Chain A
Amino acid sequence: MRVVIGEDNALLREGLVALLREHDIDVVAQAQDAPGLLRTLNAHKPDLAIVDVRMPPDFTDDGLRAAIQARRQRPELAVVVLSQYVEPAYTAELLASGEAGVGYLLKERVSEVREFLETIARVAAGGTALDREVITELVRAHSATPGGEDALAALTPREHEMLALMAEGRSNAAIARTMVVTQGAVEKHVSNVFAKLDIPQTNDAHRRVLAVLTFLRARTDG
């Protein structure tokens, strides 16, 4: 896997590069600002870009905008966007920006090394990974809608956890490892969740993220 990193903070950039190289991931180039990132992505054509949202020159959402622009030019580019805050509004923009895999994570998730490596591998392979915080925000909004509360209230705490892990785009095997249960138990839980929320069941992780997201946003988007 060939990766380009866009991050203006030197400490974080170097940490990230070291982490990826330790795990035999080929970091082909690094960029420190949005225009530099676009140039680098054009020059190296990597499989995956890991991009910080806030970057020079404007220090607003330059990184996000650059990532979206790069995906329009090369729809096969997978992108993991890292940020110190999650904004559900940005999720929709990222998901709509291309066909390839996309991830939107809080920065501190990089410290959960194994999960992070799994996530970027999944996104590079075309999967979707949303931070559990995005799901928490949407679940909170959803629970407050009339009727939405009932559907979510029917879930057990265990199934709630499952919902968040599914939205992160994890496979059944990954969920089983995280929750320390067997894969068979996960499959049972997953079909329970789908049945209770009345979502068409699928075992494809990417489709599952979209299904959960669609369910959560169905009423909240009005």
Chain B
Amino acid sequence: MAADDHPKAADRGLTLHVGLAALLGCVTTLIWGASSGTSNYYWPVWVWLGLGVILGLHVAVLIARRTPSNRRAIAVHAWLTGLLDLALVVVWLAAGDGTFWAGWPLLFLQALLAVHALIAFRHMLPPLGRQRELEQRVDELSRTRRGALDAQATQLRRIERDLHDGAQARLVALSLQLGRAEERLRDDPETAVLVRQAREEATAAIGELRSLARGIAPPILSDRGLAAAVEALAIRAPGEVTVSADPGPRAPVAIETAAYFVVAESLTNVAKHAPGASATVSIRRTNDDLIIEVTDDGPGGARSDGSGLTGLRRRVAALDGELKVTSPPGSGTTIHAELSCGS
């Protein structure tokens, strides 16, 4: 309450000051009128000037006390300059001198104020050219980052395809040849064992390449698109999963892959932290945005800073998307992600 009382007391002080000054000025004018008549030189103008300057200083003190400290100096400076300007003009008018000698000091005072203002507000008003340059740079970086991520996702799929048609296919052909050789070596069991071991090595290598390829880009995603890939995730998931996927026209590869991994990671979390809970996956498109939501009826209370969710959030953020986790204890968990498909 003190903060409220204080300005009120100050305002009362100012009102009293204005009243007293007006009274004093009027009394002086009356004395002038009574003593020498109205045709004489109006000397009380100097009294009015003195009273006005003192009142102006009073107001300056009040401004200084009420203005936040970062703008106090410039506010008081502006007020005092205005006061001095007025005083100079009044003095010039009262003196009745012909030439406008007050011009130069007025110019000097305004120039001083202008320099002060430029220094005081230089942070708030960055030069226009620099700002435009920065905006262009941000646009360019957003565009090239999206381009780089799209290129990366496309390249990863190409690597998956190259593995499939290249190394994996060759290894399958190799193991097939080894299998045929093994068949012909029935009369030479010792050599047959060697060939079998070689075939098993080839098979193990195929298995490793397969898990590598699946981590890069699940084949069903590139084969059949997001809706089918998410349905397939639901089939693999241990709990009950209801899918409603309407992702619209196919999104850029990077967006599609990110959306897939949001669902995959969320369903893994459901299996891990809410076993037995049923989950709902919803994917829909509004204009340019792909909206992914995975909800479960588990115990909730998920830590949104867990490594899985942090990884997802980064993946989504890199595409200028948003990922929100709502998980109040006792009422399930919702992962909500929005990805823009526009470029």
Q: Which residues of A contact B (CB under 8 A)?
A: 9, 11-12, 15-16, 18-19, 22, 54, 59-61, 84-85, 87-89, 107-108, 110-114, 116, 137, 140-146, 148, 219-222
Nearest CB in chain A: distance from B295 CB, A: 15
Q: Is the CB of B177 within 8 A of A220?
A: no
Contacts of B240 in A (CB 8 A): 219, 222
Q: Is the CB of B235 within 8 A of A221?
A: yes
Q: Is the CB of A145 within 8 A of B213?
A: no
Chain A CB within 8 A of B278 CB:
yes
- A89–B238 alpha-carbon span in the complex (Å): 14
With A11-B169, A85-B214, A137-B236 in contact, is A111–B223 under 8 Å at CB?
Answer: no
- A170–B218 alpha-carbon span in the complex (Å): 30
Taking A12-B176, A87-B219, A219-B240 as given, write out 14 further A-B residue pairs in contact, using a Cβ cutoff of 8 Å, ordered by the A residue number.
A18-B180, A19-B179, A60-B224, A84-B168, A84-B169, A84-B213, A89-B231, A89-B232, A108-B175, A110-B179, A111-B172, A141-B236, A145-B239, A220-B235
Chain A CB within 8 A of B284 CB:
no
Q: Is the CB of A111 within 8 A of B238?
A: no
Nearest CB in chain B: distance from A141 CB, A: 5
Q: Is the CB of A89 within 8 A of B239?
A: no
**Which B169-213 residues have a C-beta within 8 angstroms of A?**
169-173, 175-180, 182-183, 199, 202-203, 206-207, 210, 213
Chain A CB within 8 A of B164 CB:
yes
Q: Which residues of B contact A (CB under 8 A)?
A: 161, 164-165, 168-173, 175-180, 182-183, 199, 202-203, 206-207, 210, 213-214, 219-220, 222-224, 228, 231-232, 235-242, 271, 275-276, 278
With A111-B178, A222-B240, A222-B278 in contact, is A88–B235 under 8 Å at CB?
Answer: yes
Nearest CB in chain B: distance from A152 CB, A: 12
Total A-B contacts with CB atoms under 8 angstroms apart? 111
**A-B CB proximity, top 3 nearest:** A144-B238, A222-B240, A111-B179
Contacts of A60 in B (CB 8 A): 222-224
Main secondary structure of the interface of B (DSSP, over half): helix
- A89–B180 alpha-carbon span in the complex (Å): 32
Contacts of A146 in B (CB 8 A): 275-276
Contacts of A9 in B (CB 8 A): 165, 169, 173
- A82–B81 alpha-carbon span in the complex (Å): 90
With A18-B180, A111-B179 in contact, is A222–B172 under 8 Å at CB?
Answer: no
Contacts of A59 in B (CB 8 A): 161
Q: Is the CB of B276 within 8 A of A145?
A: yes
Q: Is the CB of B223 within 8 A of A88?
A: no
- A9–B171 alpha-carbon span in the complex (Å): 12
Partner of B172, one of A110, A113, A141: A110
Nearest CB in chain B: distance from A151 CB, A: 13
Q: Is the CB of B164 within 8 A of A54?
A: yes
- A85–B220 alpha-carbon span in the complex (Å): 10
Nearest CB in chain B: distance from A62 CB, A: 9
Nearest CB in chain A: distance from B85 CB, A: 80
